[in-house]
Amino acid sequence: MIQLENVKKVYPNGSQALKGVSIHIKKGEFVFIIGSSGSGKSTLIKLLLKELDPTEGKITINGIDTTNLARNEIPYLRRNLGVVFQDFRLLPNKTVYENVAFAMRVIEAPSRIIRRNVPTVLSLVGLQKKLRAYPNQLSGGEQQRTALARAIVNNPPILIADEPTGNLDPDTAWGIMNLLEDINSRGTTVVVATHAKDIVDAMQKRVITLKKGVIIRDVEKGGYDNEA
C-alpha cells in the first residue's frame, strides 16, 4: 500500500533530512513513526503527500508511482490520502462544518452526500455541537478533531497523521488515538508520527523509529523506543 525504496531528502539549504529510508506498509496496517525532533518524520509525511519530492529513491502509494507523477495527476494521488497536519491547516474563514464540507467539494461530491456525511463525521469526532464555530473559537483538541474529521470524510484508503495529539491533555489525546484505531479497524491503513510515548507503549502497534534521517528500528507490536 505504501512503499519507500532508499528514499533520500536533502533540503535546498543542504540539510539531509532523510538518508536512505526503505519502508513497506501493507494495507490495513497501523504504524507509528517515532523519533526525536528533527529526525525526519514530517519530511517523510510530506514526501508521501508529494508536497516534497525525494532527492533520490522511489515512493509508491496504493499502486501509484509518485516519483514521476505529473502535476495534474497529484489530485488523483491525494484522493488516496487523508491527512492530519502537525499545524492542522484549517481554513480560518470557514466554520467547522464548512472546513469538512470543503474537502468533499474539492472531490466534487454531490451536495446531497455532503449534507449527509459532514454531520455524521463531525458526530463521530464529538463536534456535533460546534458545526458553526470558526477555528479561532475552538480549543486545540477541537481543532485537532476538526482536522481529523476533514481527513476521514472522503473515506480514504490511507490516513496519515503528523503528531495528532501534540498539545492535547491525556484524555483528549487518547480519544483521538481511539478514533484512529476505530478507523483502522474498518480497513483504513493508518500512519501516525508521534512523540506520545505512553500511547505508543500502550497500543502495541508496529513502530518505526527514525534517528537523524535513518531507520534504526522497525518492530511489529513494539513500544516506544527510548533511544528515540
Measure the CA–CA gap between 30 and 205, rounded to whole angstroms: 6
What's the CA gap between 211 and 127, in Å, rounded? 36
Q: Which is nearer to Mg ion, 118 or 208 (CB)?
A: 208
Shortest distance (Å) from residue 98 CB to ligand ATP: 28
Span 66-105, contacts to ligand ATP by CB under 6 A: none
Binder among 31, 39, 48, 176 for ligand ATP (CB under 6 A): 39
Is position 40 an interface residue for ligand ATP (rule: CB under 6 A)?
Answer: yes
Q: How far is the CB of 41 from ligand ATP (least distance, A)?
A: 3
Listed in sequence order, the residues at least 6 apart from 78 whose beta carbon sits closer than 8 Å to its beta carbon are 49, 50
Is 102 within 8 Å of 135 (Cβ atoms)? no
Backbone torsion region of residue 38, taken as left when φ is above 0, otherwise alpha when ψ lies between -120 and 50, otherwise beta: left
Which range, of 11-19, 90-98, 112-120, 141-149, touches ligand ATP by CB under 6 A?
11-19
**Shortest distance (Å) from residue 89 CB to ligand ATP:** 15
- Angle made by CA atoms 156, 160, 166, in degrees to the nearest 5: 135
Burial 119-139 (b: 16+ CB within 10 A, else e): bebbebbebeebbebbbeebe
Considering the complex, what minimum distance in angstroms separates the CB of residue 120 from ligand ATP? Answer: 32
What does the alpha-carbon distance between residue 83 and residue 144 come to, in Å, rounded to a whole number? Answer: 11
Is residue 164 involved in binding ligand ATP (CB under 6 A)? no
The residue from 5, 8, 28, 38 that contacts ligand ATP (CB under 6 A) is 38
Residue 11 found at the interface with ligand ATP (CB under 6 A): yes
42 binds ligand ATP (CB under 6 A): yes
- How far is the first Cα of the chain from the last one, in angstroms, to the nearest whole number? 26
Closest approach of Mg ion to the CB of residue 40, in Å: 8
Among 35, 135, 141, 175, binds ligand ATP (CB under 6 A): 35
Choose between 42 and 146: whose C-beta lies nearer to Mg ion: 42
User: Dmax of the chain from CA atoms?
Assistant: 50
Cell numbers of 111, please?
A: 451536495
Check binding of 42 to Mg ion (CB under 5 A): yes
Contacting positions for Mg ion (CB under 5 A): 41-42
Q: Which residues bind ligand ATP (CB under 6 A)?
A: 11, 13, 15, 17, 35, 37-43
